[in-house]
Structure 1
Amino acid sequence: MASVTSDYDYSTAIDFTIEEGLCNLDPNPMEVITQTYIHSIICAFGLIGNALVILTYVFYKRTKTMTDVYLYNVAVADLIFVVALPFIIYNEQHSWLMGSVACKILRSAYSINLYSGMLLLACISGDRYIAIVQARKSFGARARSLTYSRLICSAVWVFAVALTLPTLLYTERFEEKSLEAQTTNVMCQMSFSKTETAKLMKVVVPSLQIAIGFLLPLLVMVFCYSSIVCTLLRAQSTQRQKAVRVILAVVVVFIMCHLPYNVTLLSHTLSLFKERSCEAEKIKLQVLAVSRSIAYFHCCLNPILYAFIGVRFRSHFKQIILDLWCFSKKYIYTARSSRAPSDICITGRMSSDGSNNMTSFSA
């Protein structure tokens, strides 16, 4: 999630002049099939990873620190992203079968969670900066309280909603005639009644996504993590090399996932009102689609980079797997036999206060 993409489908409604006349920018069937498989994989892994993070915080770990609150909200944002994505993709490929209300809700929820997810990643880097670089200053502990973290998360979600207002207001369900076939497609896209509004929104929406959804989090992450690396290198710690490698992995993965798409989106936005050939436009849209899928993949990596890499979180994750196995084993015994064994499985779930509570699942 979370990753930022454009809410506007440039392949179907762009104000530009094609040198050869009418130009069909619809993707070919092979591209549609390939993107469907890729997005299915992203949705599956993103759903599993982020659901496990949320499950861990709700039933096992609890949110005890500021970072925990941020990680939980990032997982929620990514989860809503991967849940909304299949509905949007399916309706775009098979004509929009859902109503106008679903059109607005899905597009808006999609955008809200993309913005909130990216900004929350910047908050995580800021929290780690305060915890490590500013650890000796008096305001550090106060700035990292749970109350502050919840207020910051609330502000992030409200800000994300405000940034999504153009999508909510201008996204409509409408019919469009195909250029080649004599058919009518039902679309769910941003639609404008005035040319001036269309030109403004076609620049404002992607510009906001690039500036706030990519550049701002990137600058915050680079500054915070650079300061953290310098602090760790000065410290005499046996764990500093591992910590530095993790930080570098977080920044490199973020850049590799989002830089190609945002560069392509910026190039496409700058050329919106220029004359260009049909073939060049098709190639640019193909590059945009590929880079967008790479950006989507970041929501699958967030649980690994920010949660599962921690020792304590991994222990909770292993406990979830063990408990699920125990429940499944109990279900099998109950289904196959009227008399289940007295002691099917014993697990050691960590309680919210950190004590080891032995829990027995028996018939």
Structure 2
Amino acid sequence: MDNDTSTTYYDVLIEDDFTEDLRPQCHKHDDKAFEAQVLPVFYTVIFLLGLGANGFLALILIKYKQLRELVDVFFLNMTIANFLFLFTFPFWIYTAKHSWDLGDPICRLISGVYSVGFYGYTCFLVLSIIHRYMAVVHVGRFHIATRKTAYSIIAGMWGLALLASLPEFILFQVQMEGSNYICHFVQPHYLPGEEKSWSHFLALKMNILGFLIPVSIAIFCFWRIKKTSRYKEKKYEILRFIFVKSLVFMGLWTPYNLVLFLRTFREQLNLNDCENSYQLDRAAQITKIIANTYCCINPVVYELLHFTFYKCLYCPFHPQNNAEGHLRERPI
């Protein structure tokens, strides 16, 4: 998202770099050098851990749990969203050291897939929270009548993720910036308004759809569940690790969303001087790395908190106990 020499992958989820750049006069740091040294290492680690953690989680859900519970189907879709997210990482690793030389179609495709992975995970996380809320707070009055209805809801969630990602699929393209080619939002002639206004819109899209709405829904649902007597009467295992997954996800993305808002509206907030611009640009780089670790940390949360994980480790050494039904989930 940096204005002069930033590489593509800070411009994929949103694009907020349309303010006038002050850093050529500041000469405080070389973004390209920082990205080339730091980002390939971190993103390679995230990519490898993410593939392993999400692959093992998919194995648990499909082979051992056999998707018997609807919430397991939601978790599987979160895993698919993580795989879409991880699919783009080799491109960011490559462009950390090189300019974007892959053309406009690949730019739009990778930008869109990255966005779909993020919003898809967010949608299914929110859906799992609402599902638990309805099951606990409105027990006896809520159920999904048919498998067809459940599949329709799942398709709707992916539709929302695609809709939120349309700007990345349609409006991103390769442009020369400084001495590098980068892939980011470029306002076409048919869009009304100023480019800066669109940059504000895209940043707010991320802040609202990817952060404020999920956080608000999670706070409301968990608050109501906590006040429900049925919650106090029984231990809800699935509810516990949905809560932890939500806490981890939101905790990882909160710093980046705050920095993104400050960075996008720094002129309005009187943060456009050289020193503040430098601090916000560097903070955006660091917090984005932290936020992207969610795709490998959240599967680990599931695997460590859910009892099936330990039985999956136990079964290879005790195959005689891995009979049909042995791993059936405990009632919750």
Same fold (TM over 0.5): yes
Q: Structure 2 length as normaliser, TM-score? A: 0.82
2:158 counterpart residue number: 157
2:217 counterpart residue number: 220
1:204 counterpart residue number: 201
Counterpart AA for 1:151: S
CA distance in structure 1 between the aligned counterparts of 2:239 and 2:143, rounded to whole angstroms: 23
Contact 1:6 1:205 in 2 (8 A): no
CA distance in structure 2 between the aligned counterparts of 1:231 and 1:255, rounded to whole angstroms: 24
1:126 aligns with 2:121: no
2:186 counterpart residue number: 191
Deviation, structure 1 residue 163: 1.3
Distance 1:17 1:31, change over 3 A: closer
Give me the identity figure in percent: 22
SS of 2:143's equivalent?
A: helix
Contact 1:171 1:190 in 2 (8 A): yes
Q: What is the CA RMSD across the aligned residues, in angstroms?
A: 3.2
2:143 counterpart residue number: 141
2:3 counterpart residue number: none
**Between 310-319 and 121-130, the greater mean CA deviation after superposition:** 310-319
2:330 counterpart residue number: none
Distance 1:272 1:45, change over 3 A: farther
Counterpart AA for 1:297: T
Distance 1:63 1:220, change over 3 A: same
Distance 1:234 1:98, change over 3 A: closer
2:307 counterpart residue number: 311
1:1-363 equivalences in 2 (<5 Å):
7-8=13-14, 10=16, 13-16=17-20, 18=22, 21=25, 26-27=30-31, 29-30=33-34, 32-135=36-139, 137-138=140-141, 140-142=142-144, 146-178=147-179, 185-193=180-188, 196-231=193-228, 235-237=232-234, 239=235, 246=241, 249-271=244-266, 276-316=272-312, 318-319=314-315, 322=316, 349=322, 351=324, 354=325
Contact 2:82 2:117 in 1 (8 A): yes
Deviation, structure 1 residue 16: 2.1
CA distance in structure 1 between the aligned counterparts of 2:144 and 2:66, rounded to whole angstroms: 20
**Between 50-59 and 226-235, the greater mean CA deviation after superposition:** 226-235
Contact 2:15 2:202 in 1 (8 A): no
Deviation, structure 1 residue 248: 5.3
Could you report, residue by residue, the CA deviation over 1:164-193 in whole angstroms, capped at 9, with x for unpaired residues?
A: 111112111233342xxxxxx222222234
Deviation, structure 1 residue 5: 8.6
**Between 254-263 and 23-32, the greater mean CA deviation after superposition:** 23-32
Counterpart AA for 2:119: Y
CA distance in structure 2 between the aligned counterparts of 1:57 and 1:286, rounded to whole angstroms: 39
Distance 1:150 1:45, change over 3 A: same
SS of 1:95's equivalent?
A: coil
Unaligned stretches of 5+ residues in structure 1: 179-184, 324-344, 357-363
| Number of residue pairs the alignment of both structures matches | 315
Point out the structure with max Rg over C-alpha: 1
1:360 counterpart residue number: none
Distance 1:251 1:355, change over 3 A: closer
CA distance in structure 2 between the aligned counterparts of 1:42 and 1:50, rounded to whole angstroms: 11
Distance 1:120 1:248, change over 3 A: closer
Counterpart AA for 2:232: A
Counterpart AA for 2:128: I
CA distance in structure 2 between the aligned counterparts of 1:230 and 1:269, rounded to whole angstroms: 38
Could you report, residue by residue, the CA deviation over 1:33-61 in whole angstroms, capped at 9, with x for unpaired residues?
A: 22322222221211111111222333332
Distance 1:117 1:168, change over 3 A: same
CA distance in structure 1 between the aligned counterparts of 2:178 and 2:80, rounded to whole angstroms: 38
Could you report, residue by residue, the CA deviation over 1:9-28 in whole angstroms, capped at 9, with x for unpaired residues?
A: 55xx5232639758687415
CA distance in structure 1 between the aligned counterparts of 2:222 and 2:118, rounded to whole angstroms: 22
Deviation, structure 1 residue 224: 1.5
Could you report, residue by residue, the CA deviation over 1:79-105 in whole angstroms, capped at 9, with x for unpaired residues?
A: 111121221342243111323222111
CA distance in structure 2 between the aligned counterparts of 1:43 and 1:271, rounded to whole angstroms: 32
Deviation, structure 1 residue 120: 0.9
Q: Structure 1 length as normaliser, TM-score? A: 0.75
Distance 1:116 1:317, change over 3 A: farther
